[in-house]
Chains A and B, each alone.
Chain A
Amino acid sequence: MWLVESSGNQKTDAFTILELLITSSIIAMIALAIFSTFSMGIRAYKRMHYSGLAQADCLLSLEKMEKDLHNALNFSGIGFIGENKKVSFAGLVGPQPNSALGRITYYLDTKNNSLMKEEGFYPHSSLNSKALASIKDIAFRYYYFDPQAQQYVWQDSWQSVNGIPKAVRAKLTFKSENDKDVEITRTVFIPAER
Chain B
Amino acid sequence: MSRIGSSAFSLVEVLFTIAILAIGLIGILRAYSSLLNAAGVSYEYIDAVCLAKERIVEIELGELQNKGVSQGTTYGEAHAIYGDFNWRETVGPSDDKNLNIVNVAVFKKDDVKSRKFTLVTYVVSRE
B-binding residues in A (CB < 8 A): 2-3, 5, 9, 11, 13-15, 19, 22-23, 26-27, 30, 33-34, 37-38, 40-41, 44, 48, 52, 59, 143, 151-152, 166-167, 182-187, 189
Contacts and interface: CB of A to CB of B under 8 A. Distances in A.
A2 B29 contact: no
29 contacts: A2-B5, A2-B10, A3-B4, A11-B2, A11-B4, A13-B8, A14-B8, A15-B9, A15-B11, A22-B11, A23-B11, A23-B14, A23-B15, A26-B18, A27-B18, A34-B25, A37-B29, A37-B33, A40-B36, A41-B32, A41-B36, A44-B36, A152-B64, A152-B65, A167-B61, A183-B80, A186-B53, A187-B54, A189-B60
B43 interface: yes
Given A30-B22, A151-B65, A19 B33 contact: no
B61 A187 contact: yes
A26 B2 CA distance: 31
Nearest to B19: A26
B74 interface: no
B21 interface: yes
A115 B4 CA distance: 77
Given A34-B25, A44-B39, A143 B4 contact: no
Given A34-B25, A34-B29, A41-B36, A2 B11 contact: yes
A54 to B, nearest CB: 12
B32 A59 contact: no
Interface residue range, chain B: 20 to 34
A48 B35 CA distance: 13
B7 interface: yes
B25 A184 contact: no
Contacts of A14: 8
B57 interface: yes
Contacts of A11: 2, 4
B43 A48 contact: yes
A93 B60 CA distance: 29
B5 A3 contact: yes
A26 B65 CA distance: 70
B4 A183 contact: no
A184 B81 CA distance: 8
A27 B81 CA distance: 43
Given A44-B39, A187-B57, A13 B11 contact: no
B46 interface: yes
A166 B4 CA distance: 92
A143 B22 CA distance: 62
A126 to B, nearest CB: 35
Contacts of A37: 29, 32-33
A15 B18 CA distance: 16
Given A48-B43, A187-B61, 4 more contacts: A11-B2, A23-B11, A37-B33, A182-B80
